[in-house]
Amino acid sequence: SAVISQKPSRDICQRGTSLTIQCQVDSQVTMMFWYRQQPGQSLTLIATANQGSEATYESGFVIDKFPISRPNLTFSTLTVSNMSPEDSSIYLCSAYLFGEGEKLFFGSGTQLSVL
């Protein structure tokens, strides 16, 4: 299994500002992902965080709005840029562990409210 520490756990931000969310895994993982969960909805994949290269974004998400860093195999950040109230959501970091019982682990999430 893996332990994923994500911070901040919550924040309230003014529109037009940016917030960087950090995700630390307690072991080296090949694949890390960022998801968004809007109120009352399920999880939507934002991007795959690739170690040492640019993230791979899903349809509807762009690098300018959601820049992602992945400097090594245990750490990633997601920035929500130029925020608007529509960005209010829970953002979840996740890591995919291979091998026996492979599965996707999640951080505890960041609840973002944009005023």
Give the residues lining the site for other proteins (CB under 8 A): 31, 33, 35, 41-45, 48, 92, 96, 101, 103-109, 111
C-alpha–C-alpha distance, residues 101 and 12, integer Å: 37
| Nearest to other proteins of 18, 28 (CB atom) | 28
| Nearest to other proteins of 4, 83 (CB atom) | 4
The distance of closest approach from Cβ of residue 66 to other proteins in the complex, given in angstroms and rounded to an integer, is 16
| Nearest to other proteins of 18, 41 (CB atom) | 41
C-alpha–C-alpha distance, residues 55 and 53, integer Å: 6
Strands 19-25 and 75-80: antiparallel
Cα end-to-end distance, the chain, whole Å: 37
The distance of closest approach from Cβ of residue 26 to other proteins in the complex, given in angstroms and rounded to an integer, is 15
Closest CA to 23 of 84, 89, 97, 92: 92
The distance of closest approach from Cβ of residue 82 to other proteins in the complex, given in angstroms and rounded to an integer, is 26
